Structure 1
Amino acid sequence: MIERSRAPDRGSVCIVRHGFYPSELNVKREAEALREDGYCVHVVCLRKRGEATHEVVDGIHVRRMPIDHRRGNIGRYLFEYNAFFVLSSLELVGLHLRHRLRAVQINTMPDYLVFCTLPVRVAGVKVILHMHEPMPELFGTLFDKTRHRLLHLAVKLAERLSLAYADRALTVTAEMRQNLGRHGANLSKITVILNVPDDRMFRPDRYTHLKGRVARAKEEDRRAGVFRLLCHGTIEQRYGLDLVVGAVARLKNTIPGIQFRFMGQGEYLGAVLAKAEELGVSSHVQYLGFVPFETMIEEILCADVTIVPMRRNPYSALVQTNKMYEYMALGRPIIASRLDSVLNYFPEDTLLYFEPDDEGDLAERALYVLNHREEVQFRVRRTTELYQMYRWEHEKRKYLGVYDALLANRER
């Protein structure tokens, strides 16, 4: 492998994302990889109240459009997406006039955001479409396809046209890439970049200062008979947190000290807490809110087992969750839904799999973790070995290679 130069001036590039920077760690990871490879990197994104319109964050030039994100109905999403589309298109023109952009990367959603690059593409700027979500499948999971039939057809058409328009495309799993091929995409210009965390942020030796607190918490849990299940991230129905609540209800008599702790935000929070109340396990279910990053790390390290309870649907069959890789990076035991998009990367002797949507099977897996700790640690070691193949250190080389090939960069 040829050593990459860290010093060349490769010119200016831009990442456009309908999201926030630097809080979206996958965008931050990519922007910093490009910066380290010699590019002057600009990010165009949303702006939360109180955030600066323009600022430099760790060498990344961030330009925030005057739009915040609010969850809501289809109308709200369309307003946000279209307003961001127009403002981003204008911002790209200004950036190109001032900095002569070489490439623009669009991180979905939505797919059609890629067309905001049209004014600069006709000036010779290359376009990379980074598809983090399969939009037609996600739309079908979120909304009634019969009721919104025309919009669903528009989403499918947008995916096809966006891929045809982009010079290169990135997806997050081989299953998603193959699915795009079935939809008519040119597979030769699609590269899979797994949605793994930044090695610098997710590694146990970065958090040695938490070791004492974690050890004390685990000792207190042991004395009190506490058994911690943990999940973090977006709280939506498709991510299955209510299934964990159902499993806790099945186990509360067998494991009186069982606790399900979860963090994050999302529209399904009320339903998860309501189910805990309905099943009489509110005292066993603790919602921690949206916590600081280091608090999240400490909670993950304290957990006896982490859960990735994705429901089975056309969307989940194509993707993996970033939190699954975060648990792997920190060496935690994982119970996960048995989905091909995960099994094809991590076989049966790694994660503890349960049948999707089956609370009873999930409960059995949790009980197995409690009673078979040595085997579970073997699985953790086996998972860690495989994870080394997929770390960002390796995925980053593929990611930067897409830019090298598209922009005809030469190693020096």
Structure 2
Amino acid sequence: MTASAGNAAGGKPRRVLILVENLPSPFDRRVWQEATTLHANGYAVSIICPTGKGYESRYEAIDGIHIYRYHLPLEAEGAKGYLVEYSLALFHTFRLAWKVHFARGFDVIHACNPPDLLFLIGGFFKLAMGKRFLFDHHDINPELYEAKFGRRDFFYKLMVLFERWSFRSADVSIATNESYKKIAIERGGMKPEDVYVVRSGPKLDRLRVLPPVPALKKGRNYLVGYVGVMGAQEGIDLLLQAAQYIVQTLGRHDVQFGLVGGGTSLEQMKQLAQEMGIADYVTFTGRVPDQQLLEMLNTSDVCVNPDVANDMNDKSTMNKIMEYMALGKPIVQFDLVEGKVSAQQASLYALKNDPVDMARKIVELLDDPARREQMGAFGRHRVINELEWEYEAPKLLAAYARLFPGAAPALQMSK
């Protein structure tokens, strides 16, 4: 009788410590899907992450996964703010790693960036105690820095150096798409056989198709939905310009915009909507529970991804695209490489960073219900048959089989 994927030859579970800094667990959906999949396949899983709204407990066990959280006193803005945030995060993560080491133990550190400094912890335990180190590459931080600050200066070069050290320290790395895999090999110096593409496929038991909630349309005929972070590189200002063009230039007073998500730019975007004279047409929910997110997206006639066309977003796979497709929604986004790879015929592609063209394409879809239905059906079919998490979970287990050659990746799906 063969052992499950996460068990050593003697039957003892392999122990995994996942490090994540930018979101609490289980709110971070990709990390939680990875953790629950590993747990379902025989691994003992612990997570270290920050606290967050609704996730204030410093320790709790959920679905057999042990979560250790630390408090960050600020959400960083600017280079100095990030320096403080990341320094505190590293201190608390290292401190809690020792706590997990003595309480539960771990055989591998699974580090999810940002920041690209977690190799300091993974590398320490690898060199000092022989632990394995897996680098889960969520964001390309050099390009993220350039997108936020618009320059390639000393700090940009430092980001490239930290990224390279992260890859060089790792026994195995995980990429979210082929663009990221190419970076791991060409910029990070990893061997192709040590890099596994594990996309952020949605789980349909979470992204449920629900009846629309008409009240979210605020008495108007149509709703345009967005879910995601309210930050500089997400292009919310461009989306508001598109909304302004639809309302004021085209004279369309039958369209409401529903924007779900929090972030450092949320209050600034609310103020901008006021200044543009479109505040009544835009609903900002902030960060909300899944039920409210699902209500907004299920009620939407069209969903949008206004991510700015830049080097980072061109190479990145956005979770929101997968979520829109899972719910059968037609999409409008700017013409980005990985956005096209994901959505294909489920989306229209506006000229890069052109809010007027985005506005015209939104209206084009609102006025063509048959095309909306066709595009939405294509996207949902693609998720069900190609992109759902069940197709990515075996690739995650294959990466762990590379770390632990004796582990047979016999898949059990998490609930």
TM-score by length of 2: 0.88
Are 1:9 and 1:38, in contact at CA under 8 Å, matched by a contact in 2? no
Distance 1:302 1:199 in 2: 17
What is the aligned counterpart of 1:130 among 123, 127, 136?
Answer: 136
> Could you say which residue in structure 2 is the equivalent of 1:289?
286
How many residues align? The count is 398
Query: Amino acid of the residue matched to residue 227 of structure 1?
Result: Y
Identity %: 22
Counterpart check, 1:194 vs 2:199: yes
| C-alpha displacement of 1:215 | 6.2
Q: How does 1:4-403 map to 2 (within 5 A)?
A: 9-18=12-21, 19-48=23-52, 51-122=56-127, 123-145=129-151, 149-186=153-190, 187-204=192-209, 207=210, 211=211, 214=212, 217=215, 225-252=220-247, 253-347=250-344, 349-387=345-383, 388-403=385-400
| C-alpha displacement of 1:144 | 4.3
Q: 1:133 to 1:124 in 2, by over 3 A?
A: same
| C-alpha displacement of 1:402 | 0.8
Distance 1:411 1:401 in 2: 6
Query: Amino acid of the residue matched to residue 321 of structure 1?
Result: M
Q: 1:390 to 1:94 in 2, by over 3 A?
A: same
Query: Amino acid of the residue matched to residue 250 of structure 1?
Result: Y
> Which one has more relative contact order, counting CA pairs under 8 Å at least 6 apart?
2
Secondary structure of 1:133 counterpart: coil
Q: 1:323 to 1:84 in 2, by over 3 A?
A: same
Q: 1:97 to 1:33 in 2, by over 3 A?
A: same
Distance 1:171 1:279 in 2: 40
Q: 1:120 to 1:339 in 2, by over 3 A?
A: same
Distance 1:9 1:379 in 2: 48
TM-score by length of 1: 0.89
Q: 1:33 to 1:51 in 2, by over 3 A?
A: same
| C-alpha displacement of 1:44 | 0.9
**Which consecutive unaligned segments of at least 5 residues does structure 1 have?**
none
**Which consecutive unaligned segments of at least 5 residues does structure 2 have?**
411-415
Residue by residue over 1:200-255, the C-alpha shift from the partner in whole angstroms, topping out at 9 and shown as x without a partner, is 31132xx5xxx3xx26559x87xx55211111221112111222222222222442
Distance 1:155 1:256 in 2: 45
Query: Amino acid of the residue matched to residue 161 of structure 1?
Result: W
RMSD value, Cα? 2.5
Distance 1:324 1:400 in 2: 25
Counterpart check, 1:410 vs 2:413: no
